[in-house]
Amino acid sequence: MVGAMHPPLSVLDLSPVGAGVAPSQAVRDSVALARTAEALGYARYWVAEHHNMASIATSAPEVLIAAIAATTSRIRVGAGGIMIPNHTPLRVIEIFRTLEALYPGRIDLGLGRAPGTDPVTSAALRRSDDPDVNHLLAELLAFERGGFPERHPFRAITAMPSDVAAGTPWMLGSSLTGATIAAQLGMRYAFAGHFAMRQAAEALALYRRQFEPSPTLAAPYAMLAVTCVCGEDDDDARRQAAPLRLAIVRTRTGQRAPIATIDEALAHRFTPAEQAIADEFLTGAVITGPAQVADRLRALAADTGADELMLSTLVPSLAAREASLTRVAAAMA
């Protein structure tokens, strides 16, 4: 372990799929990267949920959580997140209670209100009779907290194993709406600054201002995700991040493809519209060498009021991601 990091740092992983790399290898790389993150002293390791994306392989976070928790011993492991519209509430609670039973005190259940995919794929995933995501969230929390009214038919259902919680709950968000919901429910809040940084400070301030204590959380706790690529120096960091810029443009314009090689990405000539897409996504990103990375991350936490930062390093090379996390940990220790 490199040493304690201030503020605490965590990792968000999307199992990025690079050109010429099998998606199955990307999933295995995520397990390997989690072991590296634990050895370096990162606080938690979350895997996202996305579907029908050629560049991202994290379609089953609950399975990856089990695999990662089994091969690590200290680091918290969780979903960033489970996308509520794609799942039945009872099944989510059963799965995460089982994970908590297997790996006590190490499981996080991050809940997102978006489907994490395109409309057609969302329709293929969703088989719920109730498309109201807020109703699904309320039902999920009722199964976890025992909050069904006396005459509700689900009141007699017990999610097993019944003697553990479904991990530590978090509300995810990329807008002010998620901040308000997290505050009203007294939940920990994680903001998706790795693609929506412009609203981060406002959302976290709103969350703190409106927070109502709950039986599981007495005071607000906010985590901010940020795109971070730490290279050997500034030029190397920008070079390593070049495929990400192209991948975002391709995804936002409906082009299905693995993440390009560095050479292909550097050779691409962005149109003004493509440049705007990439710049918007990377607002607030920390793409730099070791000399500045600690100051920039600490300044971001201070400016937004985040208690913890979660780093998203969406580059397909496992070696590059391990090197980036290692440089950041050394700089922040």
Asked whether the predicted pLDDT for residue 231 surpasses 70, the reply is yes
Q: How high is the mean pLDDT of the chain?
A: 94
Q: Residue 128 has what pLDDT?
A: 55
pLDDT of residue 137 exceeding 70? yes
If you average pLDDT over residues 35-61, what whole number do you get? 96
Whether 55 and 20 have beta carbons less than 8 Å apart is answered as: no
Q: Which burial class, exposed, middle or buried, applies to 127 when counting CB atoms under 10 A from its CB (0-12, 13-18, 19+)?
A: exposed
Asked if residues 315 and 240 have their Cβ atoms less than 8 Å apart, the reply is yes
- From 17, 77, 12, select the one nearest 49 (Cα to Cα): 12
| Res 130: pLDDT | 55
| Beta strands in the chain, from DSSP E residues, in sequence order | 9-13, 44-47, 76-83, 107-112, 168-173, 188-191, 222-230, 286-288, 308-312
pLDDT value at residue 116: 81
pLDDT beyond 90 at 127? no
Please tell me the predicted confidence (pLDDT) of residue 120: 87
Inter-residue contact 10 to 297 (CB < 8 Å): no
Q: Look-up: residue for tokens 């634990």?
A: 38
Superfamily of domain 9-332: Luciferase-like domain (3.20.20.30)
Residue extents of the structural domains in the chain: 9-332
- Name the pTM for this structure: 0.95
Percent of the chain scoring above 90 in pLDDT: 88
Q: What is the pLDDT of residue 5?
A: 81
Q: Model confidence over 180-224: pLDDT tens digits?
A: 999 999 999 999 999 999 999 999 999 999 999 998 899 999 999
Q: Quick check: 129 pLDDT over 80? A: no
pLDDT digits (tens, 9 = 90+) for 67-105: 999 999 999 999 999 999 999 999 999 999 999 999 999
Contacts of 316 (CB under 8 A, 6+ apart): 16, 17, 18, 19, 21, 26, 243, 258, 259
Residue 2 has pLDDT above 80, yes or no: no
